[in-house]
Amino acid sequence: MIRKYRIGNPIPTESVVTEIEITEGNIPFFTTDVEKKSLFLKLSESDKIWGLGETTRGMNKRGWIYISNNADDPVHTEDKRSLYASQNFFIVDGDDRRFGIYVDTPERVTFDMGYTRSSELVISFDDFDSDLYLVEGDSLKEIVRQFRKIIGKSYVPPRWAFGFGQCRWSYMSADEVREVADKYDEAGIPLDMIYLDIDYMERYKDFSVDDKSFPDFPEFVQEMKNRGIHLVPIIDAGVKIEEGYDVYEEGLSGDYFCKKENGENLVAAVWPGKVHFPDFLDEKAREWFGNKYKFLLDQGIDGFWNDMNEPAIFYTEDHLQEVFEQIEDYKGKNLDINSFFDFKGLVGSISNNSEDYKRFYHNYKGQKIRHDKVHNLYGYNMTRAAGEAFERLCPDKRVLMFSRSSFIGMHRYGGVWCGDNMSWWSHLLLNIQQMPALNMCGFLYSGADIGGFGADTTEDLLLRWTAFGIFTPLFRNHSAMGTRRQEVYRFEKTDSFRRLIELRYSLLPYLYSEFMKAVRDDEMLFKPLSFEYDDARSLEVEDQLLLGESLMLAPVYKQNATGRYVYLPEDMKMIRFRAYDDYDEEILQAGDHYVKAGLSEVLVFVKKGHVLPLAKPSKRTSGVNTAAGLSYICYEADPSGYELYTDDGVSRIME
């Protein structure tokens, strides 16, 4: 059962697609303090809190404080309160009550999950204008299902987007991209996608291609396609200010850019230097920007990733000017304890400064709204611009799309990657823990940069991360400029990487079936154990996941580990894969086990009465037959009981 409550006069987010009547009166379970602009909920000792999408810390969110304020912050340490997304849905799961709550407002919201006082959950608002959806149901899964129903079906990518993708900031030329493809082919490692980061563009101009380093682009796209490889270019939010550049000129003449109070277009800076930000909240601007993707679609491109759409701001022209003026005051002075730090702060605060988000406005549904009031909707609407355009421009075909910044609602138009993580073991664990919470909020096509984006990876970390990544729908190795090169063929254990990635291709019938069924039935693909088992131990497992109907995963995420402890809530069949066609099987009884898992091995646990179909892998997803010729690993089950989902992989049949 879902009830909708309203506080104040919220700015619509269009994240909920079902009309629900507003219930008058107090919100059950909560007390309201208008003065403090807060809702309070008493927590009992046993209450757990699941959800909140892409956030830091574990699966159970209790004990930390989170702020919905989409942030371009590449250092995801545990003390961070905001990452790239605002996904304000969570479930309070206690012995005597269980409900989900969706806080539907674009404004900044703070979720104090028992941080200030361990017995109290406090939701605080900047303005106190919000819709609230209270979702009750018999089980955690039922609560998620009901919530997902009202926010609309999750985005479905083409089937090839379940292949392996290689990215780097940046491959600088077509020849470098060819080399990556050649190396993968020479090493016999499957690959479906090579991503183009910002340097494929002409001086970082959206919807342009540098014709010196990427000459004859349509021919190049076709050449790669003939090899079965899709090129997936990045699109950034900011449009370079440059006379004669068509996107800039059209944006000006169509009045599509965000404006300052005085009506002038805001000037900010990102990769291209000075840019204007398209007003993605304005329907007209959204349609215009969406249509621009045609430039690349027409050249054979069929997938994109949207970036810097919090939006990330290096500086705004006005703020920079102010800083330069203020710096004058410090010239020739003996900078002491106070003035030195003030001076340092002045320059250090020019990027992603919260004051800058108050310097510009949107035209949202005919109203002028200051950016900070709708900040969390910006990336969502950039991706919506693309998604709506794809429906117009290629109505018969799915296009790959995922975004860095997001808000619930965006899950209908694209997936997400979890932004600029680091090559840290703790971020492999974070990746594991973020997946189910993303799924709860509708984001099924998701994943993190495998191997870590920032900092130097190591072979063992990359192996373990790849061994987990073979299960995430978005399976992409990506790394930052200046870090150690991370393409898997560069490492000694090339054979191990090949076997891991082949296993992914072999799992395709299962992964694709479970993904498509999860979309169809509003289910989660990844679940914490607590969503299916109610024994006390299952409620606390933070490093194992249920994947689809048949599997439990227990990834190894610690350096130098040769195995790990695994908790089994029921008897399961453990498969230790060395390769898709080389594995041991062992029935393990419910309880705790220490199990060995060498660096190149993958552990998979098949639940009783369930089936894991496996295909013969291929170098491309197109070569994997997911409908016939499958083998099955069964644990007291019959393969015929498994519902295999197959389709042509590109038609928009589910939407």
Binding site for ligand GLC (CB under 6 A): 169, 197-198, 234, 307, 404, 419-420, 478
β-sheet bridge partners, residue 573: 587, 606
User: Minimum CB separation from ligand GLC for residue 169, in Å?
Assistant: 4
Closest to ligand GLC by CB, 356 or 420: 420
Burial class for 519, CB neighbours closer than 10 Å (0-12, 13-18, 19+): buried
| CA terminus-to-terminus distance, the chain | 25
Alpha-carbon span 267 to 277, nearest angstrom: 8
Give the Cα separation of 476 and 607 in Å (integer): 28
d(CA 461, CA 451): 7
**HSE value, Cβ hemisphere, 13 Å, CA-based, for 50:** 31
Residue with smaller CB distance to ligand GLC, 483 or 621: 483
Q: Tell me which residue has its CB nearest to ligand GLC.
A: 169
Nearest to 573 by CA among 563, 584, 552, 588: 588
Residue 276: count other Cβ atoms within 10 Å of its Cβ: 22
Quick one: 373 or 476, whose CB is closer to ligand GLC?
Answer: 476
* Helix, strand, coil fractions of the chain, as percent rounded to 5: 30, 25, 45
What's the one-letter identity of residue 117? R
User: Would you tell me how many other CB atoms lie within 10 Å of the CB of residue 107?
Assistant: 24
Residue 202 or 307: the one with the smaller Cβ distance to ligand GLC is 307
Contact by Cβ (8 Å): 157, 649: no
Q: How far is the CB of 379 from ligand GLC (least distance, A)?
A: 12
The distance of closest approach from Cβ of residue 478 to ligand GLC in the complex, given in angstroms and rounded to an integer, is 6
CB of 435 to ligand GLC, least distance (A): 19
Shortest reach from residue 159's CB to ligand GLC, in Å: 24
Q: How far is the CB of 420 from ligand GLC (least distance, A)?
A: 5
Q: For residue 274, what are the contacts with CB-CB under 8 A and spacing of at least 6?
A: 240, 241, 267, 268, 317
| Closer residue to ligand GLC in complex, CB, 220/402 | 402
- DSSP E strands: which ranges in 317-384? 361-364, 367-370
Query: In whole angstroms, how close is the CB of 71 to ligand GLC at the nearest point?
Result: 12
Quick one: 169 or 491, whose CB is closer to ligand GLC?
169
Q: Least distance in Å: CB of 378 to ligand GLC? A: 15
CA distances 239 to 255, 311, 378, Å, are 13, 12, 15
CA distance 60 to 73: 22
Q: Choose among 234, 212, 213: nearest CA to 296.
A: 234
Nearer to ligand GLC, 107 or 310 (CB): 310
Q: Secondary structure of 202-266 in the HEC alphabet?
A: CCCCCCCCCCCCCCCHHHHHHHHHHCCCEEEEEEECCEECCCCCHHHHHHHHHCCECECCCCCEC
- Smallest distance, ligand GLC to C-beta of residue 98, A: 36
Count of other CB atoms within 10 angstroms of residue 366: 7
Residues 558, 525: contact at Cβ < 8 Å?
no
Smallest separation, CB 472 to ligand GLC (Å): 16
DSSP strand pairing (400-403 vs 89-93): unpaired
Least distance from C-beta 406 to ligand GLC, angstroms? 13
Q: How far is the CB of 237 from ligand GLC (least distance, A)?
A: 11
Taking the complex as a whole, how short is the minimal distance between the CB of residue 172 and ligand GLC, in angstroms? 13
Q: Which is nearer to ligand GLC, 197 or 210 (CB)?
A: 197
Radius of gyration of the chain (CA): 25
CB of 363 or CB of 472, closer to ligand GLC: 472
- Please count the other Cβ atoms lying within 10 Å of the Cβ belonging to residue 29: 16
Q: Which residues pair with 305 in a beta bridge?
A: 234, 402
- Nearest to ligand GLC of 478, 619 (CB atom): 478
